[in-house]
Structure 1
Amino acid sequence: MSDKPAPVRPTLDLRSFTPARVALGRSGASMPTKPLLDFTLDHARARDAVHAAFDAPRLVAGLGELGLAVTEVRSRAADRRDYLRRPDLGRQLDAGSADALAQLATTPSPLAVVIGDGLSAAAVNGHATAVLKSLLPRLAAEQAVAVGRVVVASGARVALGDEIGAILGARMALMLIGERPGLSAPDSLGAYLTFAPKPGRTDAERNCVSNIHHAGLSSDEAAFKIAWLVREGLARQVTGVALKDESADRAPRRIGTASER
């Protein structure tokens, strides 16, 4: 048995594989100036993303160009302050919105699509339309799943899609929503799928496609995964822990390059 120590791989190599803050170095007992300034900037961007304005009119216009009928609704959170302090209000439609949706629910649909601002309106403003643009032809070609009316929700939490899906009589709800901003991705979009949506569903009953942004999962990759989950969820009549995402068996994962981060 040799006493020669195994070669040590420099920790600095990790920086070529992840945008996480590793191997930042130090200046005396402190962090070097540049990493500290980078951290401060990313923290400010994350805070700004939480309070960014939701550009619902622009989103509605973009969805209209895709040939989609769009309805705007609100949660019971009266403003952003309410939304952040009272998460429960973001999970319930206000009375006027619930009544308006009920009047539109004439024919049950297989899939209800809800787009909510969530904790990063910047993510929805930047990526939601692109994801749907890639998703719609996949649903039409592979599963013949028609998307009827799309609902754009302000002051939304993930569970708001359950009430909307139930009112519309949808077999499955797809919620595209801004995720909690991180220090490396303030504009990350998430997609949540729930079979047989209704108030009271738990996160264990949903599937999530996360980290949809320029340096993470691309819009096309996300659409591929979402389409797979829609097809399998409707066929098996389940989502959540009962439905394992095996879409990667059909398409390789592409990691964002350093230039995209």
Structure 2
Amino acid sequence: MNTPAPESVFIKPLEPGLYIVATPIGNLGDITMRGVDVLRRAQIIACEDTRVTGKLLKAIGAETRMQRYDDHATVETRQWLIEQSRQAPVALVSDAGTPLISDPGYRLVRAAREAGVNVAVVPGACAAIAGLTLSGLPNDRFLFAGFLPVKDKARADMLGSLDGVDATLIFYETGPRLVRSLSVMADIWPKREIAVARELTKLHEECRSGLAAELAEYYTAHPPKGEIVLLVGPPAEQVTAHDSDALLREALEEMSASKAAGTVARLTGMDRQTLYARAVELKSQ
């Protein structure tokens, strides 16, 4: 981790300003070379939790001063950080992943830009994007909606408000609340494909896909821990009988009639039993 990288990777000298630095979401090896360089050379690191960031700094051999900056940070703390960034490089990090994605960092960045402070981004890991790429769901258009509300009615209202969005939906959720969220999704979107991505970049990384009711049943029996990326596939387009036959034929090349029917049902929202009967017909031809 301490091996120097080519000098061309770095900005020399590191000018005063606010540097938005992405940190690993699990695997420390995912910190970028530029991210390591900025964290080592910054004068101050604004972070959510000094204990969490302290572990990362120890791993990369950095001894930079840390300043706690979270949801409870005062206006005075924010203004102090802006004044510091006028004179020296200040890094902004979150506990994991890219700052400003479901964390309070946007207030500091907004205030810095309004104050005329130089703001630069050092990109890297993001749980939402990692989950999307791992899920295999359509990614040409997606909506990140952050953490789902804690209360049941607020959660149901939020999900219901997104019913007509023609895109893959991405949420953050916690292990203890996952089954409750999946149960609501089973009522709203019984036929849409759902993916649960957890332990991303870690030893036991998992991405499980299926219908919401199936996943709710699985995670009731296998309670998950930690934070989770919960994804919902876009609404299925209207599929004609001719289209479904083509999909079934393609699926039947690699799987049984039952599995082919299930696969096409998830893709199209069509009735599985109807598709199974047609798959049997096609297989016998």
Taking structure 1 as the reference length, the TM-score comes to 0.25
Taking structure 2 as the reference length, the TM-score comes to 0.24
Larger radius of gyration, structure 1 or 2? 2
With a CA cutoff of 8 Å and minimum separation of 6, indicate the structure with the bigger relative contact order. Answer: 1
